[in-house]
Amino acid sequence: MSLSAQHQTVLLREAVAALAIKPAGTYVDGTFGRGGHSRAILERLGPDGRLLALDRDLEAVLPAREIQDRRLLVMHQRFGELSEALRLAGIDIAEGVDGVLLDIGVSSPQLDQGERGFSFRYDAALDMRMDTTQGETAAQWLQRASVQEITEVIRNYGEERFAVQIAKKVVAVRGERPLATTGELAALVREAVRTREPGKDAATRTFQALRIHINQELEQLTLVLPQAMTVLKPGGRLVVISFHSLEDRIVKRFMRDGAAPEQLLSTKLPLRAVDLPQPELRLVGKPLKANEEEVAANPRARSAVMRVAEKLARKAA
């Protein structure tokens, strides 16, 4: 079975519907993955429509070769470099795009391929890079980072209360031998974490934290959101699916602030409504989660949250 067949795209129908696709529109799928969202978008596009799909993982880009469609361009690029990707694709940023879709986080194939080093369920090289063509591996970072740095990453990104104990144990063990595999790290963490929620492996939070840090996932999300709003046409939609509370918090705040910008001027001053800061976007619907049927078929959909915003046209003074 191919990886594209194994992977189940979360909130597929809901995300594509939220884009409100125009047949001749131009769209960006910032996280191609195994192409589930992209294929559904192409089904709704007309012959003059256009879709740019990005992914930082070369192995995620490979299935794009199965799609023979002149309307689709797939690029090996981080979505935090959205503006540059549009330029390279020959899409006029000033003209804008009609929709941007982001399905944040690690994909099922990345987790299920033991050799990628994302999961403690397999004993493999401790890599964790989404883009294996650049950057340092988790093993390399753990070999050089200080106790304080390791503690902060595991605590901030994994919300792990035993972060200090884990960090100290990592530094103690690496003084004797390098931590080279996922199995070695998982065993170390389990020794340092004596209590854990029922049914949850003690290594879960640490592996999650290291993955987020190594791939700069939150930084990439913070970079792409303002770029998306800049390149969207008035009426264009931004659709974001996140799987972690830290990601969702960034998306929520960005959309909330864009829909209700701070009024920097004193409200006691006699100002006309037109003189007040105008919102850049409006929120579309409420945050959406996967229904019981989808979660039953794909347990990883349980934590998914989808938020949608639409770019507003600037009002004339």
Q: Which amino acid is at 160?
A: E
Tell me the two tokens of residue 265.
């001027």
3-class DSSP state of 143: helix
How far apart, in whole angstroms, are the C-alpha atoms of residue 235 and residue 99?
A: 9
104 secondary structure, DSSP code: -
How far apart, in whole angstroms, are the C-alpha atoms of residue 138 and residue 170?
A: 12
How far apart, in whole angstroms, are the C-alpha atoms of residue 298 and residue 316?
A: 47
β pairing state of 72-76 and 50-55: parallel
| CA neighbor of 29 nearest in space, from 14, 19, 20, 43 | 19
Q: List residues bridging with 72 in a β-sheet.
A: 51
The reply, when asked if residue 55 is annotated as ligand binding, is: yes
The reply, when asked if residue 36 is annotated as ligand binding, is: yes
How far apart, in whole angstroms, are the C-alpha atoms of residue 159 and residue 42?
A: 39
The reply, when asked if residue 37 is annotated as ligand binding, is: yes
β pairing state of 288-289 and 305-311: antiparallel
The reply, when asked if residue 183 is annotated as ligand binding, is: no
| CA neighbor of 37 nearest in space, from 56, 54, 62, 58 | 54
Binding annotation: 35-37, 55, 79, 103, 110
Give the residue ranges of the annotated binding site for S-adenosyl-L-methionine. 35-37, 55, 79, 103, 110
